[in-house]
Amino acid sequence: MRFDILTHLNHAFAWPLADGSIAGYSNLDHPELIQATHNAGRKILISLGGFGQSQYFSPMAADAVARANFVKNIVNYVELHEYDGADFDWEFPQTAADRANLTTLVKEVREAFDNENPDWLVTMVAVATDFNGQWHNYAALAVYVDWFNLMAYDFHGIWTNHAGHNAPLYSPPTDFDGSGHQGVQYLNINRRIPKEQIHLGLPFYGREFNASRLYGPSTGGGEVVYSSIAPRQSSSWDYFWDEVSKVPYLLDAHRTKFVTFDDSLSLSFKCEYAKANGLAGVMIWALGQDILADTQSLVEAVGRAMAKTTGVAAEKNQNVEGFELFGNYPNPFNASTTIAFQLGQEVPVKVFIYDLHGNLVAVIKNDVVSSGRHAMTWDATGFASGIYFYKLEAAGFRDMKKMILAK
């Protein structure tokens, strides 16, 4: 767990049964995780429900006796296991009665928490459109909920007849399936949740379609975690960047497979969006999906992007306005990787590659470059496997990052 980056953990999943008792995965009990979180000065919440475990929320919340039993049980559960609160992930209320009962349930849990320990948190999932959002009374829930975790993903999948981005930050006018930006606007403007109570959800997984192009007809759409996607960028897949939606995608050489995902660059855009729009922060689903070798490139990208205003381990030489060096992608890689950076103005730029011993092994850019975001590819064919470093020098800005060549 990167406690130097993460501030709160949602430990998933436990869930309610119809009588108000609480069930959970057989391996959910993990006191070492809770203790490690507290030792790091962070907080951990028990997450309730999730896809496939939410079916008993409705009958439990509708019955006053069962609901009271659940409230008593969740207070005892949080206290017994030393959690710092509860996260509600009811997927999803479906009726006006569910909407009213959800509000009552969260209100009663909040009141019970305040009586037992006012520091305990209540958080919950939030959706990006009115399709499911109509069955949430968000304005009323905002009184009792500390933060809402916006599921700014799953905009395309097996339910759409075309291939599209899993988690676009923005969408073109021709695509009506939604985006993270539209989700924030929906919650804040339409449903009156204050921005400072909204976390923008960041997926560490993507989706694979049988399709030849972005927005083309498709079948499929199943989930693929980032650790399975990243190695494809070093094989016969082609990488594309969608400047409108601010996310990448892959196409195979035969143009029969389309993969949508998030990488270090797209996550940096989303973190900057969260900060620029005054959101409470960002939420990751799910930790571990980006682990390659001994690296967690996506978590690290989020940490770098959020550090600028959160004070978390700011990178050296990050005081030049508008300049940034991003994490390379993929990382680890075989045998090529993309290095991206941002410039605040047109300046001479140098990008160097060093080996583990500090020897200069390549110069991949030495030229005047215009302002804005740029990306270049380093072809490491002929280089030995191992750890390398890439360094950007531009107008007084210097930054260096690690990458792994794995053949």
Q: Which residue has the tokens 């905002």?
A: 142
pLDDT of residue 235: 76
Whole-prediction pTM value? Answer: 0.78
The answer regarding whether domain 324-405 maps to CATH 2.60.40.1930 reads: yes
Q: How would you write the pLDDT of the chain (407 residues) with one tens digit per residue?
A: 999 999 999 999 999 999 999 999 999 999 999 999 999 999 999 999 999 999 999 999 999 999 999 999 999 999 999 999 999 999 999 999 999 999 999 999 999 999 999 999 999 999 999 999 999 999 999 999 999 999 999 999 999 999 999 999 999 999 989 999 999 999 999 999 999 999 999 999 999 999 999 999 999 999 999 999 998 876 789 989 898 999 999 999 999 999 999 998 899 899 999 999 999 999 999 999 999 888 898 999 999 888 853 333 333 444 456 888 988 888 888 888 999 998 988 899 999 999 877 788 999 999 999 988 888 899 999 998 888 899 999 988 888 888 888 87
Q: Which pLDDT tens digit goes with each residue over 287-335?
A: 999 998 888 989 999 998 888 533 333 334 444 568 889 888 888 888 8
Domain ranges of the chain: 8-310, 324-405
31: which residues sit within 8 A by CB, 6+ positions away?
81, 82
Q: Which CATH number does 8-310 carry?
A: 3.20.20.80
Task: Evaluate whether 324 touches 371 at the Cβ level (below 8 Å).
Answer: no
Q: Which pLDDT tens digit goes with each residue over 164-179?
A: 999 999 999 999 899 9
Sheet with 43-49: list strands edge to edge: 22-24, 8-16, 43-49, 85-89, 121-126, 147-150, 198-203, 281-285
